A and B are shown apart, each in its own frame.
Chain A
Amino acid sequence: MAVCIAVLTKDNSPLYIASDPAEDGLKMHFLVHTSIDVIEEKLNSATAANDPRDLYLGQLYPNEDYRIYGYVTNTKIKIVVIESITNPFKDGDARQVFSKVHSGYISLVCNPFYSPGDTITSQPFLNTVTSLMRGKAIA
């Protein structure tokens, strides 16, 4: 199940980080922070061989308790999803999670009351993310 979902801007400042209350929030923050480096590396080293057409970056790096997946939009917004090894989801599922978070983010940006770059406090977005985190626990 997804234990943490994070949305970062192109300057890597966090717009939103939420983790499952059962997990250590600080550790999640730390993992997200370290994954930024990996994402940047993947973006910069992206040669033609390295799926140039895909926004989904796949698993970023191995860790003993968690799997960390990354996704970067064309507008340089980075989304990081951390899931626990005890309850993993398949590759197709991870893409779905990112797709839903991305759609939630798009609805947020189209909201004229939201200024791009602010921390996300919008209720619909928060609901989307919490349902994604909880939904995975049930699935």
Chain B
Amino acid sequence: LSNKAEACMEKMGYRVGFSLIEKATKEEARVKEDVDIVKYICKDLWNMVFRKQADNLKTNHTGTFVIQDNRFRFLTRVSQSDQYKQRGELYVAFTCGVVKGALSNFGLPCSVAAEIEMLPTVKVTLTLQQPAN
């Protein structure tokens, strides 16, 4: 049951991310490299949605990126104990959808997964479906 809810949230987030990027990139200069696109997601998209930038971005240079947010907005009010990690996944599902939609509008289809190791730190892993150039 929770899988269906997550899938639904992700679908909604996808559409939102898609439209957000369409609107936001109208005034921006042309974004070229894949890395620049992911950086744009970390800075501008995160700013638009959460009013802060993502805290950390790591890559292994083969098309996988990890965006880390140390104070994920939707989880700051949840008490920091392990029993809520499972429930926290639902809160991140929408954001995963937003990132997925944003990237696919840029022309980079990818798969997005999120892990919560310790509330409220969230790591979003993006795997681009083609090798990054």
- A residues neighboring B (CB under 8 Å): 10, 46, 52-55, 72-76, 102-103, 105-106, 109-110, 112, 116
With A109-B18, A109-B19, A116-B18 known as contacts, the answer to whether A75 contacts B29 (CB < 8 A) is no
Q: Is B77 an interface residue (CB 8 A)?
A: no
Main secondary structure of the interface of B (DSSP, over half): loop
Q: Pick the residue among B15, B31, B107 that contacts A10 (CB under 8 A).
A: B107
Inter-chain contacts of A103 with B (CB < 8 A): 26
Report 19 cross-chain contacts, Cβ distance below 8 Å, ordered by A residue: A52-B29, A52-B30, A53-B29, A54-B30, A55-B30, A73-B22, A73-B25, A74-B21, A74-B30, A74-B31, A75-B107, A105-B22, A106-B19, A106-B26, A109-B22, A110-B22, A110-B23, A116-B18, A116-B105
**10 A-B pairs with the lowest CB-CB distances in the bound complex, closest first:** A74-B25, A53-B29, A109-B22, A110-B19, A75-B105, A76-B107, A106-B23, A109-B19, A106-B22, A74-B31
Shortest beta-carbon distance, B123 to chain A, in Å? 26
Interface string of B1-36 (1 = CB under 8 A from A): 000000000000001001101110110111110000
CB proximity to A under 8 Å, residues B97-119: 105-107
Shortest beta-carbon distance, B12 to chain A, in Å? 10
Given contacts A74-B28, A109-B19, 5 further A-B contacts (CB under 8 A): A52-B29, A52-B30, A52-B32, A75-B21, A75-B25
